Amino acid sequence: MPITTIIILSAIAAAFVLFGAVLAWGKMQTRHLGRDQQRARKSAQASNSVRVIQAKAQLTGATNTGRSEEIAPN
């Protein structure tokens, strides 16, 4: 096989290897994209739950304070 044919085939093989590497890198970069979105959604839901619990606690505290003043007007 002539040297020019070897060089051309090597260049073509290198191009395919480079293309495969770029595809693998792109897949790696986007692999956890769905998981990151799920984590963000869960943390947003958790913070909303905390806000609801805090609001309920404030309402309960205000209600209990109002009741205790009505029950014991010292």
When pLDDT is cut at 50, 70 and 90, the band that residue 53 belongs to is confident
Residue bearing tokens 């805090």: 54
Residue 57 identity (one-letter amino acid): A
* Between residues 9 and 43, the one the model is more confident about: 9
Q: How many domains does the chain have?
A: 1
Q: Tens digits of per-residue pLDDT, 4-42? A: 999 999 999 999 999 999 999 998 888 776 676 777 777
pTM: 0.43
Q: Could you tell me the residue range of the domain that residue 50 belongs to? A: 3-71
Tell me, what's the pLDDT at 31? 77
**73 DSSP 8-state letter:** -
Tell me, what's the pLDDT at 17? 98
What is the spatial distance between Cα 36 and Cα 16, in angstroms, rounded to a whole number? 31
Q: How many CB atoms lie within 10 A of CB 70?
A: 8
What is the spatial distance between Cα 47 and Cα 55, in angstroms, rounded to a whole number? 12
Q: What phi and psi, each to the nearest 5 degrees, are found at residue 31? A: -65, -45
